[in-house]
Structure 1
Amino acid sequence: MKIRYIAFIIIGLIVCFLIYNKLWGSKAKEAQAMGATKGKGKRKSGPIPVKVMIVKDTIVINNIDVTGSIDANEKVSLISQTAGNITGIYFKEGSHVSKGQLLVKVYNQDLQASLQQNQYQVALAKETEYRNKVLLQKEAISKEEYETSLTNLNSLKSQADMIKAQISRTEIRAPFSGTIGLRNVSPGGYLSPSTSIATLVNIDPAKLTFSVPERYLPLIQKGSKINFTVASSSKTFQAKVYAIEPAIDVTSRTITVRAEAPNPKDELTAGSFAKINLTLDQIPKTIMVPTECVIPDLKSSKVFVVKKGVAAAKFVETDLRTDTKIQITKGLKPGDSLIVSGIIQMRPKVPLKIVKVIK
């Protein structure tokens, strides 16, 4: 009997412990604390303070920033068409030369002697041809004899032309006006057709070559004006498009455009890197909103507007983007109150408190 009573007492103590732990234990206190916290949160909930922007139509100038390179209007590496010793150099490095100006001369005394000898032969052949012509008119010689003398004269003249052409190859002249660079030869040195004498560059006007995305092809036209800058100057330069590549690059899906820029003071240098601002077109009437207002969705994008004091979602279509704004082509209309702050907290039908209106 005593053992049974003891067992009952032990069971009773266990039940009392479980009831006490359930009602007044640490877990019960935590649950009560969480309930109190939730109660306080509910008591503190209220309208979300937001800033709104009144949607309106604006004028947008469609600009894009691209990079390009400065090229010379004309550039050539000067070489000789014949081999020989250099007898004269007639330019200074870095100087301006005119078209046709003699720059380098190669030994040609043997050709000059051959030309002089030929001229004597031509003079004699002319006299012979003239005498035979007179005799032919008097029927003193046959026509064949006259034609032989005429052929000999023409042959000697052709030889003279050939010698003059060979002499001209020994004189390297400027093919166009420009600035000549550093020379790679010296007087008395041997010059071969594979030796580069110097580089001749014409940089006025300068050529500006750059590429734009395929989608802008209909907006690029000959005569379009562009602004650009280079690292060597703080000045903003202007250029005008004069040529467009007829084919699109299949790798980058871009089209190459070339413009020319006046460069009378040689402020632009061939090979320079250029930052280009290209004005494509002007949109006279459209809606532009801050980029952070637009929330990407699975199939489209959406924004939140104020409607009867609460937030309302609107699905929109976008197009043009700038650094801070995005164009809305469908979904908003002038006069809508667009929410521009607290976007993370926005949910449909959330009560709002407007703290600032941006017009």
Structure 2
Amino acid sequence: MRTRYIIYIVLALLVGFLVYNKFFSGKDDRIAPGDKGKGGKRGGPVPVSVLIVRDTTVNNAIDITGTISANEQVNLVSQASGSITNIYFDEGSRVKKGQLLVKIYNQDLKASLAQNDYQVALAKENEYRNRVLLEKEAVSKQEYDTSLASLNSLKAQSEAVKAQMARTEIRAPFSGVIGLRNVSPGGYLSPSTPIALLVNIDPAKVTFSVPEKYLSLVKPGGKIGFTVESSQKKFNATIYAVDPSIDQNSRTINVRAKAPNAEGLLTAGSFAKINFSLDQIPKTIMVPTQSVIPDLKSSKVYIAKNGLATERPVKTGIRTDTQIEILDGLQQGDSVIVSGIIQLRPKAQVNILKVIK
């Protein structure tokens, strides 16, 4: 019985100690109201960094995305049908304009052409004789005209056969790199059968869209810089064409530029990150974005003057990733507070730890 009482007493003492420790310990550490501003945890000058305002030159640029495309690109197909007798290219190789790539069986056309050539030779002799006889008035004009028409008809037939024979030879329409082939020797080729993809990507084309409000700044001859995921190099391109109409859904206008690609580092279909310089502002004031506090109707900054933080309403302009343009409200030499802004209040004391010039 006595042991149970002892246990109850110990538990009561333990609970009392915990309650005392929770509500009464640390009381002496609290700062008295009269001690504020005397080096305690609350109050005192706010440590800040300031930027000395000065005029600077800013390149007005926007970051957009685009797509790399080939200068020329075509799926090679045949205009004639027939069995493939020869293939004259290697996959992934470079070919020249006019180079023979694929040959289709055309022996029947060659025989037709040879037969027609004999008929043309005979018709020529007949036309010549009738012309001589016509000069001697030995034949009528109608008989001569008939022989001449027969000759011209046979010549036209020869040209038609030659055109058919030309369709049995598939040649490169431009110089470039040929891709993977989809046909084999001995296979049957028709106009609906794709042979291979032929691409010319030097120069490469860069297609991108620009918001409508920048339309007046986009002109042929303008320069852009861009990067692609497959290379660490930064590329440059020159604008050469601007779409004549604005997309009604996105309110953007399509623009196309050309980039030299002699090294072959750009590939058709690649994603491009573009930095487009619109214009240059020669003299303006730029401050860090975090120093500008947006308000309901305008914006404001804090400047350090005589050891105090002073509010200054400002009018802002363009923005970059880290800075914002101040059109009105600041002058050269002003000390704009760029850190510790959350703790600031009008007329609050500040302690300048760092000056950025």
Report the TM-score range of the alignment, normalised by the length of the smaller protein. Answer: 0.7 to 0.9
Residue 185 of structure 1 and its aligned partner are, at CA, apart by: 0.8
What secondary structure sits across from 2:164 in the alignment? Answer: helix
The alpha carbon displacement at 1:92 in A equals 1.2
Change (3 A) 1:270 1:295: same
Paired AA for residue 340 in structure 1: V
> What pairs up with 1:173-322 in 2 under 5 angstroms?
173-322=171-320
CA distance in 2 between counterparts of 1:170 and 1:36 reads 98
**What is the CA distance between 1:216 and its match in structure 2?**
2.2
For residues 201 and 335 of structure 2, the distance between their equivalents in structure 1, rounded to whole angstroms, comes to: 55
Deviation per residue, 1:7-32 (Å, 9 max, x gap): xxxxxxxxxxxxxxxxxxxxxx9xx9
Q: Residue 196 of structure 1 aligns to a residue in which SS?
A: coil
Per-residue CA shift, 1:322-353, capped at 9, x if unaligned? 12111111221212221222212222233334
Q: Distance in 2 between matches of 1:203 and 1:48?
A: 60
Relative to structure 2, which stretch is displaced further, 174-183 or 205-214? Answer: 205-214
Q: Report percent identity of matched pairs.
A: 67
1:313 partner amino acid: E
1:333 aligns to 2:331 (yes or no): yes
1:39 paired residue among 6, 14, 34: 34
208-217 or 285-294, larger mean C-alpha shift = 208-217
**Residue type of the alignment partner of 1:41:** K
Aligned equivalents of 1:276 and 1:353: distance in 2? 42
Which residue of 345, 351, 357 maps to 2:343? 345
Alignment partners' CA distance in 2, 1:356 and 1:261: 45
Q: Which amino acid aligns with 2:111?
A: A
Query: What one-letter code is carried by the residue in structure 2 that aligns with 1:79?
Result: V
SS in 2 for 1:298: coil
- Please provide the CA RMSD for this pair: 2.2
- 5+ residue gaps in structure 2? 1-23
Q: Which moved more, 1:303-312 or 1:173-182?
A: 303-312
Letter in 2 for 1:194: S
Give the letter aligned to residue 126 of structure 2. T
Query: Which letter maps to 1:264?
Result: A
Alpha-carbon distance in 1 for matches of 2:95, 2:50? 66
Residue in 2 that maps onto 1:102:
100
Q: Could you tell me which amino acid in structure 1 is paired with residue 277 of structure 2? A: T
Detail structure 1 runs of 4+ shifted over 4 Å in the superposition.
none
SS in 2 for 1:112: helix
CA shift at 1:177, angstroms? 0.9
Partner of 1:78: 76
Distance 1:142 1:233, change over 3 A: same
Deviates more, 1:306-315 or 1:286-295: 306-315
Task: Report what 1:113 is aligned to.
Answer: 111
Bigger Rg, which one: 1
Distance in 1 of aligned mates of 2:179 and 2:304: 68
2:64 to 58, 63, 66: 66
1:269 is aligned with what amino acid? Answer: T
Letter in 1 for 2:262: P
Mapped partners of 1:167, 1:207: distance in 2: 36
Structure 1 counterpart SS, 2:210: strand
Q: What is the CA deviation profile of residues 69-91 of structure 1, one whole-angstrom value per residue up to 9, with x for unaligned ones?
A: 21111111111111111111111
Counterpart amino acid of 1:294?
V
Cα offset, 1:96, TM superposition: 1.3
SS at match of 2:246: coil
Q: Distance in 2 between matches of 1:51 and 1:185?
A: 71
2-side partners of 1:356 and 1:111: how far apart?
89
Shift of 1:143: 0.9
The reply on whether 1:158 has 2:156 as its aligned counterpart is yes
Report the CA distance shift for 1:125/1:235 in structure 2 as closer, same or farther (over 3 A): same
CA distance, structure 2, for counterparts of residue 46 and residue 86 of structure 1: 91
**Cα distance, 1:296 vs structure 2:** 0.7
The AA in structure 2 aligned to 1:40 is: D
- Change in Cα spacing, 1:165 to 1:36, as seen in structure 2 (3 Å) is closer
Contact 2:36–2:44 under 8 Å retained in 1 = no
Equivalent residue letter for 2:49: K
Deviations 1:283-330 (A, max 9, x none): 110000011110111111111223444332222121211121111112
User: What SS does the aligned partner of 1:39 have?
Assistant: helix
Determine the C-alpha separation between the residues in 1 that align with 2:203 and 2:336: 50
SS of residue matched to 1:132: helix
Shift of 1:130: 1.1
Counterpart of 1:3 in structure 2 is none
Q: Residue 46 of structure 1: CA displacement?
A: 4.0
Q: Bigger shift: 324-333 or 282-291?
A: 324-333
